[in-house]
């Protein structure tokens, strides 16, 4: 059916410098939020949005993420997993065995593929690495640092807009003025409730220069036209290809790009403090551990 989004790109090849020294051995995408890693929230959002084909863009150093999702092959990995399961069966740890089984079953309907971004040359370059696997069709793009908590997955909300407009759609979130200088902020024309036509993107503006209070969140629906611009655009002064530069060029050429102020809470994981806040948020909401953790906080605060 026209307008269907069947594939999602997940760029996770960043260096993780804000998470040093631990990120030298464990990619930040595998750091837990409550009892599952951050990247799993992204995968579940994609799956819950009805998308079953996921393209991971990773660096050579992050192949452990493929092991977590049982994507990469290899006798050693398979042997290790079988060894763990055997030990659990011998110890009659049925709960742990069931947890492993449930996790694996949650991935059964998903088709994973992977491409390597050898060097971090920007978010646009990361997306470009996956274009050959997408083909001439629209796709979702979700970055690993941005998680949205809502009953309706954020990408599903963007998808609903895309089905109507058939143009690129960018996720937007309203921020207080004091935070605007840390984000890409959009100049917009309001079209309907929560829906905007994007006129300009300004990276990290001062409070006085900010054209609105709407920040770009790392979730998009992209069209083949965007990929065409990605292939042609030159790197910026820092040598990186950025999606914001592509969008600005498209707007300059008269192309239409929409922004949607999604419903839900935006939780960031791009630095240690944001990760700590997000971890606390999901831990306190956890159906099994949340109540005890809230009681513990009352004891120590």
Say if residue 67 is exposed, middle or buried (CB neighbours under 10 Å; 0-12, 13-18, 19+).
middle
How far is it, in rounded angstroms, from Cα 246 to Cα 124? 8
**Tens digit of pLDDT at every position of the chain (301 positions):** 455 899 999 999 888 888 989 988 899 999 999 999 999 999 999 999 999 999 999 988 888 898 888 776 544 455 567 788 888 888 878 888 888 888 888 888 899 999 988 888 889 999 999 999 998 899 999 999 999 999 999 999 999 999 999 999 999 999 999 999 999 999 999 999 999 999 999 999 999 999 999 999 999 999 999 999 999 988 888 888 899 999 999 999 999 999 999 999 999 999 999 999 999 999 999 999 999 999 999 999 9
Query: Looking at residue 119, what is its pLDDT?
Result: 82
Closest to 258 measured CA to CA, from 222, 212, 211: 222
Distance CA 40, CA 38 (A): 5
**What pTM value is reported for the model?**
0.91
User: Domain coordinates of the chain in residue numbers?
Assistant: 7-300
Could you tell me which residues come within 8 angstroms of residue 266 by beta carbon, excluding any fewer than 6 positions away?
146, 147, 148, 173, 217
CA atoms within 13 A on the CB side of 260: 22
Task: Place domain 7-300 in its CATH homologous superfamily.
Answer: Spore Coat Polysaccharide Biosynthesis Protein SpsA; Chain A (3.90.550.10)
- Where does residue 232 rank: exposed (0-12), middle (13-18), buried (19+ CB within 10 A)? exposed
Length of the chain: 301
Cβ–Cβ under 8 Å, residues 55 and 133: yes
User: Nearest CA to 9 among 141, 103, 99, 97?
Assistant: 141
């Amino acid at each position: 059916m026209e307008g269907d989004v069947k594939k999602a790109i997940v760029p996770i090849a960043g260096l993780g410098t804000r998470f040093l020294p631990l990120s030298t051995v464990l990619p930040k995408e595998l750091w837990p939020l409550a009892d599952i890693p951050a990247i799993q929230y992204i995968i579940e959002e994609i799956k819950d949005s009805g998308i079953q084909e996921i393209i991971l863009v990773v660096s050579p150093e992050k192949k452990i993420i493929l092991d977590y999702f049982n994507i990469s092959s290899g006798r050693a990995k398979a042997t290790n997993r079988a060894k763990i399961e055997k030990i659990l069966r011998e110890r009659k740890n049925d709960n742990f065995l069931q947890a492993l089984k449930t996790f694996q079953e949650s991935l059964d309907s998903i088709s994973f593929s992977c491409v390597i971004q050898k060097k971090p040359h920007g978010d646009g370059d990361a997306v470009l690495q996956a274009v050959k696997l997408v083909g001439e069709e629209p796709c979702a793009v979700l970055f690993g640092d941005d998680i949205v908590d809502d009953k309706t997955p954020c990408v599903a909300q963007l998808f609903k807009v895309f089905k109507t407009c058939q143009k690129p759609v960018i996720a937007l979130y309203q921020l207080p003025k004091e935070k605007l200088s840390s984000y890409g902020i959009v100049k917009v024309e309001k079209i309907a409730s929560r829906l905007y036509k994007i006129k300009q993107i300004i990276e990290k503006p001062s409070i006085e220069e900010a054209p609105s209070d709407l920040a770009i969140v790392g979730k998009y629906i992209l069209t083949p036209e965007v990929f065409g611009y990605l292939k042609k655009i030159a790197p910026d002064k820092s040598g990186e290809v950025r999606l914001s530069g592509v969008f600005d060029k498209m707007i300059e050429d008269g192309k239409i790009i929409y922004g949607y102020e999604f419903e839900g809470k935006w939780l960031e994981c791009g630095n240690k403090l944001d990760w700590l806040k997000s971890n606390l948020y999901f831990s306190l909401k956890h159906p099994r551990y949340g109540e005890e953790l809230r009681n513990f906080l009352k004891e120590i605060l």
